[in-house]
Structure 1
Amino acid sequence: MIKVMIVDDQALIREGLNMMLSLYENIEIVAEANNGKEAIEKIEVNEVDVVLMDIRMPVMDGVEATRIIKKRYSNVKILILTTFNEDEYIFQGLNYGADGYILKDVSSKELVKGIETVYEGNVLLQPEVATRVVSAMKNNIVNKSDDVVLKELTPREREIAYLVAEGRTNKEISETLYITEGTVKNHITRTLDKLEIRDRTQLALIIKDID
């Protein structure tokens, strides 16, 4: 059972998401919040696996809430609900460690699949959104050409980076390459340092764009 909290300032959207997700046996809605501040307060008293996070909200927006939650509760996954006109917010959310983002107009099946994806520790890269931010991400964070990016990585680091881009967890990568999870983590850490990026979500976006 995946424990989900819905964060949105519009009651109608919260109610709709709650009703829709409650139809799935593997999803349990444990809390709702109408802004980022309330989300942080409720996550302190509820066991939450995945947060469905709206971006534009009063009191505290979803980007700032993502930053605080990820800092305090790194094990909680955050799936940002977005629209096409929020590229800047998406970029900031990823920079603060969001585990994925998905358009608000997706079907219920796509949303549940997205929740399952981030819950399992994978990166959610919805193509419709990813293509809009990857160019800006490369220019603002990496500021290097594709060739330079790849040349900075060792063959093993490139191999692991491509597996991260496929959405593989550290455990799955370790089993595929016959190395320990600790070794995988060390390679990913060095890769993030070399490319001057924050997390595996950004790494996956960059590698997928190069590929």
Structure 2
Amino acid sequence: MIKVIIADDSVIVRSGLKDIIEQDSEIEVIGLATNGNEALDLCEKNQPDLILMDIKMPVCDGVEGTKLIKDKYSSVKVIIVTTFDDDSYINDALKNGADGYVLKDISDEDLIRTIKNTINGFSTVPGKIFHNFIVKNLTNNKSLNSIGCPYAGNLTTREKEIIKLIVDGKDNREIAKNLYLVEGTVRNMVHTILSKLKLKDRTQLAVYAIKNDIA
């Protein structure tokens, strides 16, 4: 069972999100908070797996709330859920450790899928936003800048197609749909690409692609 806390200052939004995600028998909402501080308190009491966190909240907003929670409970996943499609908010939330970012007009099905994907270790950020975040932080992050290009010649055409879709923010399911592949095949190919390039995760892969003009 995936244990979720919802942090949003709107009663209607909290209730609506709870109703949506509890349609899935594998997800349980174990707490509701009106700001980041309350979400932190609930983490201490209830040990959630994931928090759906609004950005615009009084007292302690989602950006600061994410930092507080990640500093103390690094294993807890945080997905920012907001109406604000704004790079500055997104950058701050991601820098503070947010694992994903979705807009409130996301479909019920996609929200549930996002929660499960995040629990399984996949970051979910809209493609343009993910690309912009990587580009903006390339010059300021030594660990990102250390990613070189010693293995580019080993990539196949299909692997490069997958990399481009990862940079666009696509998850495995979306990549499979775009390339007419089975999702399991895409998952295996992503693992192969990471191993071939000696990279740790999809973020490093996106950095590699942008630095080396694959994306």
Q: When the two structures are superposed, what TM-score results if normalisation uses the length of structure 2?
A: 0.71
Structure 2 partner of 1:23: 23
User: How far did residue 143 of structure 1 move?
Assistant: 3.5
Structure 2 partner of 1:94: 94
Structure 2 partner of 1:32: 32
Between the aligned partners of 2:95 and 2:105, the Cα distance in structure 1 is 24
User: CA 1:47–1:208 in 2, change beyond 3 Å: closer, same or farther?
Assistant: farther
Question: Residue 148 of structure 2: which of 152, 161, 184 is its match?
Answer: 152
User: CA 1:89–1:15 in 2, change beyond 3 Å: closer, same or farther?
Assistant: same
User: CA 1:136–1:106 in 2, change beyond 3 Å: closer, same or farther?
Assistant: closer
1:1-211 → structure 2 map (5 Å cutoff):
1-126=1-126, 130-132=127-129, 134-135=131-132, 137-138=134-135, 140-143=136-139, 152-155=148-151, 165=166, 176=192, 187-188=199-200, 202-203=203-204, 206=207, 210-211=214-215
User: CA 1:143–1:34 in 2, change beyond 3 Å: closer, same or farther?
Assistant: same
Between the aligned partners of 2:205 and 2:56, the Cα distance in structure 1 is 25
What secondary structure, in the 3-state scheme, does the structure 2 residue paired with 1:125 have?
A: coil
Between the aligned partners of 1:155 and 1:30, the Cα distance in structure 2 is 46
User: How far did residue 95 of structure 1 move?
Assistant: 1.0
Between the aligned partners of 1:151 and 1:175, the Cα distance in structure 2 is 17
Between the aligned partners of 2:190 and 2:85, the Cα distance in structure 1 is 38
What secondary structure, in the 3-state scheme, does the structure 1 residue paired with 2:46 have?
A: coil
Asked if the contact 1:4–1:49 (Cα under 8 Å) also holds between the matched residues in 2, the reply is yes
Aligned residues: 184
What secondary structure, in the 3-state scheme, does the structure 2 residue paired with 1:5 have?
A: strand
User: CA 1:105–1:141 in 2, change beyond 3 Å: closer, same or farther?
Assistant: same
Q: When the two structures are superposed, what TM-score results if normalisation uses the length of structure 1?
A: 0.72
Structure 2 partner of 1:196: none
Consecutive unaligned residues of structure 1, counting only runs of 5 or more, are 189-199
Amino acid at match of 1:23: Q
Q: Identity percentage over the alignment?
A: 34
Asked if the contact 1:30–1:47 (Cα under 8 Å) also holds between the matched residues in 2, the reply is no
User: How far did residue 134 of structure 1 move?
Assistant: 2.5
Asked if the contact 1:100–1:201 (Cα under 8 Å) also holds between the matched residues in 2, the reply is no
What secondary structure, in the 3-state scheme, does the structure 2 residue paired with 1:74 have?
A: coil
Amino acid at match of 2:50: V
Once the two structures are overlaid, the 10-residue window that deviates more, 15-24 or 33-42, is 15-24
User: CA 1:8–1:201 in 2, change beyond 3 Å: closer, same or farther?
Assistant: farther
Between the aligned partners of 1:85 and 1:131, the Cα distance in structure 2 is 10
User: CA 1:77–1:178 in 2, change beyond 3 Å: closer, same or farther?
Assistant: closer
User: How far did residue 208 of structure 1 move?
Assistant: 6.5
User: How far did residue 49 of structure 1 move?
Assistant: 0.6
Asked if the contact 1:8–1:54 (Cα under 8 Å) also holds between the matched residues in 2, the reply is yes
User: How far did residue 21 of structure 1 move?
Assistant: 1.6
What secondary structure, in the 3-state scheme, does the structure 1 residue paired with 2:45 have?
A: coil
User: How far did residue 10 of structure 1 move?
Assistant: 0.5
Asked if the contact 2:149–2:208 (Cα under 8 Å) also holds between the matched residues in 1, the reply is no
Query: What value does the CA root-mean-square deviation take over the aligned residues?
Result: 3.6
Instruction: Summarize deviations over 1:75-111 as a string: whole Å, max 9, x none.
Output: 1111111224432111111111111111101111110
